[in-house]
Amino acid sequence: MLELIDISLKWNSPKEKPFLKNLNLKIKNGNILCVFGKSGVGKSSLINVIAGITEDNLLFEGRIVLNGKILNDIPTEKRKIGLLLQDGALFPHLTVEQNIYFGMNKRLKSKEKLILISENLEKANMENFQNRYPNTLSGGQKSRIACLRAILSEPEVLLLDEPFSSLDPEHRNTFRNFVVSKVKESKIPCLLVTHDESDKIISNEKSIDLNIFRS
């Protein structure tokens, strides 16, 4: 379970008030919670704080708890978080297969990893993309690969920042369903932040409008 307890965010300036105040939420394992709001309300900053990514001059208060463990002072690389940012952040010099392979659990044998990659690319409607490079992919294709990489890294929580924004309607619905199935299968909590209220369709926790936590 992921819990955010009394989270407040503000810019480090004496005159600044918190732009996000007293946010509390819980996401059970296997569930998705959608946090939505317009650009500038703090969605990406919230994702970064949970992941332990430092933003210049950003201060936060509160506790981040994952499966009973407080994450506040734990380095990003040890938080066991699967993260998909808006730009996808694929390695340009690696193929699709290599990008996904890079983050997978080291206990798996190479053959097992390749089979998993192939199976999941097919489920994401991207079969035969193994040897493609990121510069040959559309924005939506890059998002799907980055999301697959995050999911197949076997995280304890999945954080998604606008994962469907660059997809056309047909692929958006298909990939939404894929994400739901993988979260349930992995039995991990998932936090999805978005400006698109239609994404609430995949939230099986009560969706949160971030605007109501603005001070």
pLDDT number for residue 207: 92
**Confidence label for 88 from pLDDT (cuts 50, 70 and 90):** low
Domain ranges of the chain: 2-213
pLDDT at 125 over 90: no
**Confidence label for 93 from pLDDT (cuts 50, 70 and 90):** very high
- Quick: pLDDT tens for 158-204: 999 988 887 888 778 888 888 898 899 899 999 999 988 889 899 98
Closest residue by Cα to residue 3 from 67, 52, 60: 67
pLDDT at 215 over 70: no
Per-residue pLDDT, averaged over 50-63, amounts to 91
- Quick: pLDDT tens for 25-36: 999 999 999 999
pLDDT number for residue 82: 92
8 Å CB contact between 160 and 44: no
Q: Long-range contacts made by residues 99-104, C-beta under 8 angstroms, separation at least 24?
A: 99/134, 99/145, 99/146, 99/149, 100/145, 100/148, 100/149, 100/152, 102/149, 103/149, 103/150, 103/152, 103/153, 104/152, 104/153, 104/154
115 vs 40: which has the higher pLDDT: 115
**Confidence label for 118 from pLDDT (cuts 50, 70 and 90):** very high
Q: What share of the chain in percent tops pLDDT 70? A: 98
8 Å CB contact between 32 and 193: no
- Quick: pLDDT tens for 58-77: 999 999 999 999 999 999 99
8 Å CB contact between 192 and 31: no
Whole-angstrom distance, CA of residue 115 vs CA of residue 85:
26
**Confidence label for 49 from pLDDT (cuts 50, 70 and 90):** very high
**Residue 63: how many other CB atoms lie within 10 Å:** 12
Per-residue pLDDT, averaged over 129-156, amounts to 90
CATH of 2-213, one of 3.40.50.300, 3.40.30.10, 2.60.40.420, 3.40.250.10: 3.40.50.300
